[in-house]
């Protein structure tokens, strides 16, 4: 694989750390800025909103930029945003800085996915995307625990200074290792791009992504109480078990990329089915401690095995126009899925059947995602037959 892919992964690592590390520092932030813990938790929601808004807006408004300049520009904004987080004297300014940083997220992963796929042959596109997303999975395993520890020992602001330094290192890596790219982000113009991404199969692809990742985060958001209250682990055991989850993320992401390169549609449906099945098994399996640890790792593997097929499928629908925009919008869809899953899981716990039923309810989301994906495949095939009457005669 080209070394430039690992430069893209370095940027993904920094962005992944800054997105998730705040989860482990809510108490420190709330105490220092004199706000409630739920108010501090809104910093997570504010970031997600920034991703959803920033992905399409920045991608459209930077359509005439070449991709290397755009990626390095996004990393500069990332550096400034995290430095502003570290310096923010008030909660409002911290929220503003978080939203500024989040604006880079969707476009970086969206454009980076297209760039990564273009660096290799068509038969290795999904694997190239998976390598870039490995930076995000490694952020979950290494960056977030390290950032949380750093913030707890030296103050939460030190964590954001460390992330700023990671951004500087990623910027230098991008400048040195990513090849020059003189072509603009889109060759067809933003109107053609919008038309391309508004096609029904593409919109169904976005919905598949939202539903699939809602299933992952409906459970993962509440994995700590699942482990302590259902599996009866001590609080101190949660962090080591989450390392197992992180290992599953990395292996599942890379495996999903390889399978998607072989049979894209089968990889998408198969990974969703595996995720749904794993969530159903967890309903019973979490009653046993050993099974709970194994299943936590498999949840990470099956959950992130869906990422390369989902991203590749959406991109495959808009190769002629709108590929970068569709890719960025799909990153926004992942974040919407995260928010939907966390919200649904909270309702199940607070107003529904309770914590023990959470895996079974979470399994409903990927099950519906499979139905949506199959509908998208059928529409794609119908469109292909209409565009090529000779094939219709053969069929």
Report the pLDDT value the prediction gives residue 172, as an integer from 0 to 100: 92
Does residue 64 sit in helix, strand or coil?
coil
pLDDT at 185 over 70: no
Residue (of 136, 119, 126) closest to 3 by Cα position: 119
Reported pTM? 0.79
Secondary structure (3-state) at 355: helix
More confident residue, 78 or 117: 78
What is the reported pLDDT for 349? 81
As a whole number of angstroms, the distance between CA 192 and CA 189 comes to 6
Q: What span, in angstroms and rounded, lies between the C-alpha atoms of 77 and 100?
A: 8
Confidence of residue 221 (pLDDT cuts 50, 70, 90): confident
* pLDDT given at position 391: 39
pLDDT in tens, 257-311: 889 888 889 999 999 999 999 999 999 998 899 999 999 899 989 988 998 898 8
- Residue 386 is predicted with a pLDDT of 60
pLDDT (average), residues 159-180:
90
Cα atoms in the 13 Å half-sphere on the side-chain side of 279: 28
Task: Pick the closest to residue 124 from 212, 2, 271 (CA basis).
Answer: 2
SS3 (DSSP) at 320:
coil
Residue 61, classified by CB atoms within 10 Å of its CB into exposed (0-12), middle (13-18) or buried (19+), is exposed
Write the pLDDT tens digit of every residue in 306-331: 988 988 888 887 766 667 778 788 88
Q: What is the mean pLDDT of residues 38-67?
A: 79
Q: Rounded distance, CA 151 to CA 23, Å?
A: 11
Confidence of residue 362 (pLDDT cuts 50, 70, 90): very high
Please write the tens of the pLDDT for every residue from 148-157: 788 888 989 9
CATH tag for 186-395 (out of 1.10.3720.10, 3.30.460.10, 3.30.2130.10, 1.20.1250.20): 1.20.1250.20
Q: Where in the chain are the domains?
A: 1-184, 186-395
CATH topology agreement for domains 1-184 and 186-395: yes
Rounded to whole angstroms, the Cα distance separating 249 from 12 reads 14
Beta-carbon contacts of residue 365 (< 8 Å; ≥ 6 apart) = 211, 212, 214, 215, 218, 341, 344
Residue 390 has pLDDT above 70, yes or no: no
Contacts of 185 (CB under 8 A, 6+ apart): 59, 62, 63, 64, 65, 66, 67, 70, 111, 324
Q: 371 pLDDT exceeds 90?
A: yes
Mean confidence (pLDDT) of the chain: 83
pLDDT band, residue 179 (cuts 50/70/90): confident
Query: Taking 80 as the threshold, does the pLDDT of residue 96 lie above it?
Result: yes
Whether pLDDT at 392 is above 60 = no
Mean pLDDT of 348-355: 80
CATH code of domain 1-184? 1.20.1250.20
**pLDDT above 70 for 108:** yes
Helices (H), the chain: 4-20, 26-33, 37-61, 67-87, 91-118, 125-138, 144-154, 156-177, 190-197, 200-220, 223-225, 238-262, 264-285, 289-305, 307-316, 323-351, 358-387, 389-394
Of the two residues 232 and 41, the one the predictor is more confident about is: 232
CB 11 within 8 A of CB 112: yes
């Amino acid at each position: 694989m080209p070394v430039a892919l690992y430069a893209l992964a370095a940027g993904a690592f920094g962005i992944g750390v800054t997105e998730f590390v705040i989860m482990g520092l809510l108490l420190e932030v709330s105490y220092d800025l004199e706000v409630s813990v739920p108010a501090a938790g809104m910093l997570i929601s504010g970031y997600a909103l920034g991703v959803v808004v920033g992905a399409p807006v920045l991608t459209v408004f930077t359509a005439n930029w070449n991709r290397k300049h755009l990626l390095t520009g996004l990393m500069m904004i990332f550096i400034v945003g995290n430095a502003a987080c570290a310096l923010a004297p008030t909660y409002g300014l911290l929220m503003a800085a978080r939203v500024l940083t989040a604006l880079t997220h969707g476009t970086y992963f969206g454009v980076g996915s297209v760039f990564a796929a273009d660096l290799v042959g068509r038969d290795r596109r999904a694997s190239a995307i998976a390598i870039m997303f490995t930076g995000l999975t490694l952020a979950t395993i290494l960056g977030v625990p390290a950032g949380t520890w750093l913030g707890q020992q030296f103050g939460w602001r030190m964590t954001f200074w460390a992330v700023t330094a990671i951004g500087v290192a990623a910027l230098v890596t991008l400048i040195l290792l990513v090849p020059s790219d003189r072509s603009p982000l889109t060759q067809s113009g933003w109107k053609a791009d919008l038309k391309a991404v508004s096609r029904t199969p593409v919109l169904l692809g976005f919905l598949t992504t939202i539903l699939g990742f809602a299933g992952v985060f409906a459970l993962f958001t509440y994995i700590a109480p699942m482990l302590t209250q259902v599996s009866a682990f001590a609080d101190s055991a949660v962090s080591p078990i989450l390392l197992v989850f992180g290992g599953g993320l990395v292996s599942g992401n890379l495996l999903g990329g390889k399978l998607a390169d072989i049979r894209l549609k089968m990889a998408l449906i198969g990974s969703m089915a595996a995720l749904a099945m794993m969530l159903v098994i967890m309903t019973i399996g979490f009653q046993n401690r050993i099974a709970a640890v194994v299943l936590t790792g498999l949840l990470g593997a099956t959950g992130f095995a869906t990422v390369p097929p989902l991203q590749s499928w959406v991109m495959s629908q808009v190769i002629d126009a709108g590929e970068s925009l569709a890719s960025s919008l799909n990153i926004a869809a992942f974040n919407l899925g995260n928010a939907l899953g966390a919200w649904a899981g909270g309702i199940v716990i607070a107003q529904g059947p309770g914590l023990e039923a959470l895996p079974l309810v979470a399994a409903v989301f990927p099950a519906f995602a499979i139905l949506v994906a199959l509908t998208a495949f059928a529409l794609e095939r119908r469109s292909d037959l209409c565009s090529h009457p000779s094939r219709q005669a053969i069929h």
